[in-house]
């Protein structure tokens, strides 16, 4: 892939240089040094989910793409391509059991050879697995039966073991406990059971780990979900202790929720631990981040950049993409997503914070709004391309990927009837 990137960059070098210089001049007029912005932008990294590398689907069907990865080793291979082109996705977030490796240390070594590490691991108590003793049909950590709860805690501990062997240092827990009809679950007691179950798992969490709690208002529970909102998530994180925090998935909110304000609240509570990026129009649509509501994405980054500047956030939260690529080529969708995220981040970096503070102080509503809006409207494409180029990535990752013929090669290779993971694994 490296020589393809170089060739692709060579073709674009002159046009890119002039775009970058023009942007540099434009920023200089506002007394902003483009080099400083490039340095800050280079700090932005985001994890890729193991389930985002294959074609996703809806409950009505799935239309598999060509040359999809057949197992977690091939997912690692594809993730390395995304990282090679973008240079900012060095970690994979693994789902257990969907992508559980038979030999975690071997997978870790394989990934390391390709320059990848592992981000937060994800547990799954929302489906029954083959050979599972008890069903999660009526809940897991919040189930009325203590044996089911014990089994769910056991699963979470197992996921942590897998994560430890992979070199992860966090677990993300999304629970579907809830009910479809009034009366089905005891609203208060089911919450207490979930809290107590999480506390058991938390007590055995490996040293230096963080437990990230992900809320979602509905689906699959359609009447009441136990961990439905940021308030419930925060109560849990606070009850568990220092090493527990909340994770905000951009798609897990009721329509019209002010998501950037949710982010700001959790920062204020000292409990914002992570973000899942995606976009949505109606529900938890898992579309490409920045495709539907780019201004919201920018406003979320604006809160994050502001909080890091202020020291309200000691370090940026764990950033991860959580999307379902049903129609696009998953690698291309990820390349597009990373670019959208970087652009939103850079625009947030460009917000003139002193001016914003001044206008807020003066109650100059219009100019405060314009201060944000003008940063959002900046064309920063050349700047993020320059960040990639300097790190050895592609000026135009999607063009380079298409030129590489990677998908066609893999389509042939992965269609081979016989497949066995490499012997060394």
168 interacts with, out of Mn ion, ligand AFD, none, CB within 5 to 8 A per kind: none
- Give burial (CB, 10 Å; 0-12/13-18/19+) of 304: buried
Q: Which helix (H) or strand (E) holds 13?
A: helix 2-29
Return the number of the residue (108 or 276) whose C-beta is nearest Mn ion.
276
| Measured distance CA(85)–CA(226) in Å, rounded | 40
**Subset of residues 349 to 368 that bind ligand AFD, contact rule: CB under 6 A:** none
Residue 401 is encoded by which pair of tokens? 């990927």
Site for ligand AFD (CB under 6 A): which residue of 174, 301, 345, 359? 174
Neighbour count for residue 369 (Cβ, 10 Å)? 12
- 309-313's contacts with Cβ under 8 Å and 24+ in sequence apart are 309/353, 312/267, 312/268, 313/267, 313/272
45 interacts with, out of Mn ion, ligand AFD, none, CB within 5 to 8 A per kind: none
Return the number of the residue (274 or 393) whose C-beta is nearest Mn ion.
274
Residue 74 C-beta: closest distance to Mn ion, Å: 23
- The neighbouring-strand residues paired with 246 are 213, 272
**Subset of residues 45 to 74 that bind ligand AFD, contact rule: CB under 6 A:** none
Q: What does the DSSP assignment read for 159-190?
A: HHHHHHHHT--EEEEE---EESSTTSS-HHHH
Residue 93 C-beta: closest distance to Mn ion, Å: 10
- The neighbouring-strand residues paired with 73 are none
Query: Max alpha carbon distance in the chain (Å)?
Result: 70
Site for ligand AFD (CB under 6 A): which residue of 271, 276, 325, 347? 276
Helix 230-240 and helix 259-268: axis angle, to 10°?
20
Residue 14 C-beta: closest distance to ligand AFD, Å: 42
**Subset of residues 364 to 403 that bind ligand AFD, contact rule: CB under 6 A:** none
Residue 252 C-beta: closest distance to Mn ion, Å: 6
Strand 224-225 to strand 178-179: parallel, antiparallel, or no bridges (unpaired)? antiparallel
Task: Work out whether 386 is an interface residue with Mn ion (CB under 5 A).
Answer: no
Task: Work out whether 119 is an interface residue with Mn ion (CB under 5 A).
Answer: no
83 interacts with, out of Mn ion, ligand AFD, none, CB within 5 to 8 A per kind: none
Binding mask 104-133 for ligand AFD (x = CB under 6 A): ------------------x-----------
Return the number of the residue (172 or 342) whose C-beta is nearest ligand AFD.
172
**Subset of residues 214 to 233 that bind ligand AFD, contact rule: CB under 6 A:** 214, 216
| Measured distance CA(17)–CA(175) in Å, rounded | 48
233 interacts with, out of ligand AFD, Mn ion, none, CB within 5 to 8 A per kind: none
**Subset of residues 280 to 309 that bind Mn ion, contact rule: CB under 5 A:** 284
Nearest-Å Rg of the Cα atoms of the chain is 22
Binding mask 232-251 for Mn ion (x = CB under 5 A): -----------------x--
Task: Work out whether 100 is an interface residue with ligand AFD (CB under 6 A).
Answer: no
Residue 211 is encoded by which pair of tokens? 């437990």
Span interacting with Mn ion, options 2-10, 225-233, 274-282, 337-345, rule CB under 5 A = 274-282
Q: For residue 422, what are the CA distances in angstroms to 74, 152, 425?
A: 11, 33, 6
Sign for the CA dihedral angle at 390, 393, 394, 397 comes to negative
Residue 195 C-beta: closest distance to ligand AFD, Å: 20
Task: Work out whether 249 is an interface residue with ligand AFD (CB under 6 A).
Answer: yes
| Measured distance CA(33)–CA(412) in Å, rounded | 48
Return the number of the residue (122 or 339) whose C-beta is nearest ligand AFD.
122
- For 340, half-sphere exposure in the C-beta direction (CA atoms, 13 angstrom radius) is 21
Phi then psi for residue 19, to 5 deg, are -60, -45
Site for Mn ion (CB under 5 A): which residue of 16, 110, 276, 389? 276
122 interacts with, out of ligand AFD, Mn ion, none, CB within 5 to 8 A per kind: ligand AFD
Site for ligand AFD (CB under 6 A): which residue of 119, 322, 329, 386? 322
Footprint on this chain of ligand AFD (rule: CB under 6 A): 95, 122, 174, 214, 216, 249, 276, 284, 322
Footprint on this chain of Mn ion (rule: CB under 5 A): 249, 276, 284, 322
């Amino acid at each position: 892939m490296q020589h393809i990137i170089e060739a692709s960059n060579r073709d674009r070098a002159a046009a890119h240089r002039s775009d970058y210089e023009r942007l540099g001049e434009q920023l200089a007029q506002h007394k902003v040094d483009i080099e400083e912005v490039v340095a800050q932008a280079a700090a932005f990294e985001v994890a890729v989910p193991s389930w985002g590398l294959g074609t996703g689907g809806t409950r009505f069907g799935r239309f598999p793409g060509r040359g999809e990865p057949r197992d977690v080793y091939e997912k690692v291979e594809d993730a390395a391509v995304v990282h090679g082109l973008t240079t900012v996705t060095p970690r994979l977030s693994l789902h257990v059991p969907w992508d559980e490796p038979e030999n975690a240390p071997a997978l870790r070594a394989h990934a390391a050879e390709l320059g990848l590490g592992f981000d937060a691991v994800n547990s799954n108590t929302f489906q029954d697995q083959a050979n599972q003793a008890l069903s999660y049909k009526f809940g897991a950590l919040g189930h009325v039966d203590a044996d089911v709860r014990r089994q769910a805690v056991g699963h979470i501990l197992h996921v942590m073991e897998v994560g430890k062997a992979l070199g992860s240092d966090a677990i993300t827990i999304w629970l579907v406990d809830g009910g479809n009809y009034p009366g089905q679950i005891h609203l208060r007691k089911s919450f207490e059971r979930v809290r107590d179950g999480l506390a058991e798992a938390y007590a055995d969490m490996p040293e230096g780990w963080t437990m990230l709690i992900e809320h979602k208002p509905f689906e699959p529970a359609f009447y009441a979900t136990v961990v439905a909102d940021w308030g419930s998530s925060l109560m849990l994180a606070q009850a568990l202790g220092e090493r527990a925090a909340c994770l905000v998935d951009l798609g897990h909110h009721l329509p019209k929720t002010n998501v950037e304000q949710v982010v700001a609240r959790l920062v204020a509570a000292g409990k914002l631990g992570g973000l899942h990026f995606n976009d949505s129009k109606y529900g938890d649509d898992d579309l490409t981040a920045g495709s539907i509501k780019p201004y919201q994405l920018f406003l979320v980054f604006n809160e994050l950049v502001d909080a890091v500047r202020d020291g309200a956030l000691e370090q940026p939260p764990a950033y991860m993409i959580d999307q379902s690529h049903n129609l696009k080529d998953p690698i291309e969708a990820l390349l597009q997503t990373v670019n959208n995220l970087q652009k939103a981040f850079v625009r947030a970096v460009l917000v003139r914070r002193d001016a914003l503070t001044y206008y807020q102080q003066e109650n100059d509503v219009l100019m405060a709004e314009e201060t944000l809006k003008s940063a959002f409207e900046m064309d920063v494409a050349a700047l993020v391309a320059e960040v990639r180029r300097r790190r050895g990535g592609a000026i135009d990752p999607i063009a380079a990927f298409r030129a590489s013929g990677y998908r066609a090669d893999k389509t042939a290779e992965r269609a081979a009837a016989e497949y066995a993971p490499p012997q060394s694994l």
